[in-house]
Structure 1
Amino acid sequence: MWTSPVILGLLLTASGGTPFPATSSGSVTIPLQELLPLYAKHQESAPLAPPTEALVVKSQLKGRLTAEALLVEAHFEVEVLASDRWTQVRLLQLDTDTYLTGVPALQGATVGALGGQLTLVTREPGRYAFDVSLALRPTGSGAERQAQLRFGAHVSPVPLRLEADATAFTLVDPLASGSEDTEVYPRQGVLRVGWRNAAAPKVARQVVRPPLEPSIPSAQATWVSTLEGKATVRVRYSLRLDREQELELTLPEGHRLERVFLDSVPLIASVKDDTLKLKVAPTRFGETEATLEVVLARDLGVFHLSGKLKLALPRVSWPVATLRARAHFPAVFNYRRDGGSMEEYEGEQAEAVESQTPLPGKVIHFRQYLVAASAPTLELGYSVDISQSYFR
C-alpha cells in the first residue's frame, strides 16, 4: 500500500469527485492499482497549448500612384489559435508618412493603429479575412518622389503589385518595366517605390480668331425687259461671313419682291416699308462664304420711239466691293448712258460676263466699285435704231 494525501486530493478534484470536508489535517490510504488509473486520466484531460497564438496565412498588396501619394490596398487573412486570452497580430508599420484611410469592421476582432503599427486584436479564435486602405505621402525634393512601407513582426514580406500610368509617372525605383503593372519586391523587409512626375505636355495656346466683319466681295445684277416694259431684276450677292448675321436690303421705288434664295435654297421673306430683313449664315459649319440671290420685278412702261429709263438696284447694309451689271433691253433701240453711279464698260471682261448666261436683246455692261450705304443707280436714254433701215 502507498499513501499520498496531496496527490489523492488533486485526483479527486480533477476527476469531479466530491471533496471531503476541509479539516486541519488528515490522511487516506488507497491501493496502488487504483491510484495509477486515476493519475493517467488526469494527464489525458489536460489540454495542450497551441505552438503559436496566431498565423498570417495570406497577405496581398496592391498600389497605385497618384500625383500626391502612393495608395495601397492590403488584404490579410489571419488564423487566431489562442483562446480565452487577448492576442495581438502586428501587420504593418505606420510611419509618420503612412495614413490609414480605411479599416474593416470585424465581428469578434478589431483592426486599427496600436503602438505605431497596424494591429489585429482579438480574444476569440478563428479565421479573419479583411482589407485595409493606406495612403503613403512621398518624400523628396524636386520632381522625384519616394515612399516606403515596412512590414510588421507577424507578417512575412510580400511584393507590391503597382499600377503606374506611364504617361504621367516615370518609375525610378524599381526601374520601369515598360508596362502599367510592376511587381515591387521588398528589400530587408521594406517596400520602396521611387518615381518622377512626367513633365506636363506643352499645350499650344489657342488663338481666338476675331469675328469676321461681314461683307460682299462681289455682286452681279441683270436687267431683262420686254418691249412692253415688263422688267425683271436679278441680283446675286457673294457673301463673306463666319456666323449668322442680319442683312438688310432696301428695295428701289416701284419694285416688288419675287423670290429670295440662300445657296440655292428658297427663303421665306417679307418686305415691310420697302425693307427686306434676312438672317443669313454659311450653309456648312466652318465655311465663310454664302450666296444670296434676290429677284425683283418692275413695270418700266411701254417703250416709245425715244425716251429715258431710270434704273436702280437695292441698297444693301453691307459694303459691296465690286458690282457688275448687265442690261438686256429690246434690240430695236439704241441706248446711251446719261447718268447714275454706275459706269459703262466694254472689252474682254464684258464678253466673259455675257457668256455666263446668254439672254436675248441688246446687252449693255455697267460696273461700280466700293458701294457702301447707297443704292447703285443708272440713267439710260434710248431711241429707235434705224441703222438697218432702208430709208435713211
Structure 2
Amino acid sequence: MEEKASLQKLNSRLEEYVLGVNGLEEAKLAAEQELETIRLRMQQDLDATKARLTKELEETRKKLDNEMDLNSRLQVLEQEQYKELVKFRSQQTEFEEVKVLVETLKVQLNREKINAESVKVTLSEQSTLFASAQQRVKELEREVRSHVSSLSDSTLELEELRKKSSEFDATREVEITKIRHEFTTKYQESQSQWIKDTDERLQSMETEVRGHYVKVSTSLETQLVDVRMELEATKKELDRTTTEFEESLKERQSLTEKVAQLERVYCEERTKSTKERKSYEETMERFRSSKLSKEVEFNELMDVKIALDAEIMKYRRILDRETSRVAEASRVVKVIMTKAVSPPPKAKISRKRKMENNAETGTKRTTAA
C-alpha cells in the first residue's frame, strides 16, 4: 500500500511536470509567433524607410546637380559681362572726349559769329585784307569739315557698338540654349548612373539586412531545436527512471534560464532596430537641412543675375541717349557752318590762330585715341 501511495504521488508529480512542460511549449510557440510578427513589422519599416530615403536622395541629387551647373554657367556669364562692361566704359570715355571737342567747336563758332558781325561794321576799311580773310575762312571750313568727319566716325563707332551689343545678345541666347541642351543630357546621364548606384546600394543593404536577420533567426531556431531535444531527453529519462526527478528539476531550471536568455536577445535586437531607425531619421534631417541651404544659395545667385541684367539695360539706355545727343550736335554744327562764312577782323587773327591750333591738336588726339 505504501508503494502504491508513493507511486501515485510520483504519477501526480509526473503529471504536474508534464503539464508544466506543455505550458512551456505553448509559451515557446507564442514567443515564436511574436518573433514572426516583429520580424514582419521590422521588414515593413525597413521597406518604408528605404523607399522614403530613395525618393529624398533622388530629389537632393537632382537639385545639387542643377545648382552646380547653374553656378558654373553664371560664373561664365559674369566674366563675359564684366569684359563687355570694361569695353563699354572705355568707349564711353572716348565719347565724352568727342563731346568736349564738339562743345569747344560750338564756342569757337559763336566767337566767329561775333567777329563776323564786327567785321561787317569795319568792311570798308579792310578791303585789302579780304583775300587773306577768304583763305582763312576756307581753312576754317576745312577744319570744320574734319571735325564733322570725326563726329560721323564717332557715330559710326556707336552704331558698331550697337551691332556688337545685339550680336552679343544673340550669341548669349544661343549659348543659353546650348547650355540647356547639355544640362538635360548630363542630367539624364547622371540620373541613370545614380539610379544604377542606388539600386546596387539598396541590393547590398537588403542582402546585409537579410543575412543579419537570417543569422539571428537561424541561431534562435537552433536554440529552440536544442531545447526541444533536451525536453525529449528529459521525457525519456522520466519514463525510464523515477529516481532522477531532482535532475529533471535542474534541467527545468536550465530551460527557464534559456527562455529568459532568448527574451534578453529579443530585447537587444529590438533596441538595435530602434537605434538604426533613429540613425536613419538623423541622416534624413541632415539631407533636408543641406537641401534648404542649397535652395537659399540658388536664390541669391538668381538675384545677382537679375541685378546684372538691370545694369546692362541701364548702359544700353545711356548709349541710346548719347547717340541721339551726338546726332543733334552734328545737326547744329551743320546749321552753324551754313551761317558762318564772313571774314574775321584784323585785331583778333592771332588769337583765332591759337584757338585753331588748339582745336587741331585736340582733333589729332581724338583720332589717335
TM-score, structure 2 normalization: 0.18
Higher normalized strand content (fraction of residues):
1
Q: Which has the higher contact order (CA 8 A, sep 6+)?
A: 2
TM-score, structure 1 normalization: 0.17
Higher normalized helix content (fraction of residues):
2
